[in-house]
Amino acid sequence: MPRKRPAHRQQQRQKQEISPSSIAAQALNPGLVVARFGAELDVEDESGVLYRCTSRRKFGAVVCGDRVMWQPTHDNEGVIVERLPRTTLLARPDDAGREKPIAANISRLIIVATVKALSDESYYLNHNLIDRYVVAAESLSITPIILINKLDLLSGAERRQLEADLAPYRDIGYTLIHTSTQESHGLEQLRLQLKNQTCVFVGESGVGKSSIIASLLTQVGIRVGAVSALSGKGKHTTTASTLYHLDGGGDLIDSPGVRAFGLMRIEPADLAHGFIEFRPYLGRCKFHNCIHHAEPQCAVKQAVADGRISPRRYANYLEILVSLSACR
């Protein structure tokens, strides 16, 4: 019998071959891609039943969140024959610079980050990676939410410093959430942001995305491992993207952790639009093609000098600008 979610891995079973002509004669079924395991995908039909499917290559990669049309081929298995149009697609470049899709049809990007303690009793937070994800969200016209996890690792003084460091994001209207699964802190606020949305969780490996998801959901078979003191990385990592349904409405997608995130389909000249606090000054520079780097009489640089734009955000803009230019 077909299985209902949550599903356990299928036992190997005898397959009954179906001829290509009989497959073609069968009606197409609508479905939602809810998991990807290399070349195989789990597709959920309209009644919540899962089928393990492969995909025809003619329409490119299929990822979690994609809505598809599929046909059965064997018991509990099928083939995706059509990928329906997407509203949004989050992607990054692979090692060869080709587009690598991450998740489709998303409405919110949950940027999960955590602080790392340094030897001098300070901490490190990867602001550059956060800003790259924020730019990606702005380019897709979706809502970015910045989630700082493992708050329990900070002292009171460090928490106050973190609030000050993150103030520029809050000042320009972004939602910030501090979470700790150890203290169950911030989870209710996060649930409100996820309600009736399709969200993808993104961030570096080891920031605790899987632990947060396990705390949010009931009866989820996601494996969460302890962190190795030697490597600083989780012993068990999420190797496949998975979409989960929320009890209160909405879906969330867990994506594999990354070490870096490159931007796709963004030209250097367009990057400034991804920094929303730059927008009031765009078009006010001396040169119409100003990229707000070394040009004289730049309205954006003047706003930085006047304290109206965060120097750290501007520095990250310059780093991203250089990386985009180097890829051209």
Note whether 251 and 106 are within 8 A (CB). no
150 is in an annotated binding site: yes
152 is in an annotated binding site: yes
Q: What angle do CA 167, 175, 180 make, to 5 degrees?
A: 90
288 is in an annotated binding site: no
53 is in an annotated binding site: no
19 is in an annotated binding site: no
Burial string for 58-96 (b: 16+ CB within 10 Å, else e) reads eeebbbbbbbbebbbbeebbbbbbebeeeebbbbbeeee
Q: Which two tokens stand for residue 223?
A: 């494996």
47 is in an annotated binding site: no
Residue 277, C-beta contacts closer than 8 angstroms, at least 6 positions apart? 172, 308, 309, 310, 313
Q: Tokens 């955000």 sit at which residue?
A: 313
Half-sphere exposure of 262 (CA within 13 A, CB side): 19
42 is in an annotated binding site: no
295 is in an annotated binding site: no
204 is in an annotated binding site: yes
Q: Which two tokens stand for residue 37?
A: 């395991």
CB-based burial of residue 187 (10 Å sphere; 0-12 exposed, 13-18 middle, 19+ buried)? middle
Half-sphere exposure of 23 (CA within 13 A, CB side): 16
Whole-angstrom Cα distance, residue 183 to residue 67?
Answer: 37
151 is in an annotated binding site: yes
Whole-angstrom Cα distance, residue 113 to residue 125?
Answer: 7
206 is in an annotated binding site: yes
301 is in an annotated binding site: no
199 is in an annotated binding site: no
74 is in an annotated binding site: no
127 is in an annotated binding site: no
203 is in an annotated binding site: yes
149 is in an annotated binding site: yes
Which residue type is seen at 70? W
- Annotated binding-site residues read 149-152, 203-211, 285, 290, 292, 298
Binding-site positions for GTP read 149-152, 203-211
**Which residues belong to the annotated binding site for Zn(2+)?**
285, 290, 292, 298
